Amino acid sequence: MTIAGLFVVGAPGGTRQKTYPADPMTTLATLQVGQSTVIAASETSTLNGRRRTVATPVTVHYLACGRLPVGEDAVAVRLYKVDSRSLILDRMRKEQLTVTSVVYAMPLASGFPVALANPKTASRLEHRPQS
């Protein structure tokens, strides 16, 4: 599950849940082209048999606005780059905090993405959480 297709929440009853102390869409609405913001979030997950909650802030960059061809129409959109953090296990079964960067084209009318760019190489290691 997500909020507006941009902010991961997690599946009901899943092993990974993300919470936001404030509505991220309210924060998103305050941005102007070229601005960025960090939205507070935390993730609760079970890794290595241990349940943990860690800070996983989301960074949003408002890249541009314009029109995107969708079918026969040109849809007015805003482009946002969203850097989401997530706790994972690496190949050595050590916990890692990674960042996944995705660019979303959000139409002004519907509020859900009409396009996104998420190359398979979009994730990077941010840091290793302290035990």
pLDDT recorded at residue 63: 94
Cross-strand partners of 81 = 61, 103
Taking every pair of Cα atoms in the chain, the longest distance, rounded to a whole number of angstroms, is 53
**pTM recorded for the entire structure:** 0.79
Report which of 73, 71, 62 is spatially closest to residue 106, judged by C-alpha positions.
Answer: 62
Q: What DSSP string describes 61-74?
A: EEEEEEEEEETTEE
Domain ranges within the chain, ordered by starting residue: 2-59+81-102+114-127
Distance from chain centroid for Cα 34: 18
pLDDT in 10s for each residue of the chain, 131 residues? 888 888 888 877 777 889 999 999 999 989 999 999 999 999 998 777 778 888 999 999 999 998 888 778 788 888 899 998 887 777 777 777 888 888 888 888 766 666 666 655 444 444 444 44
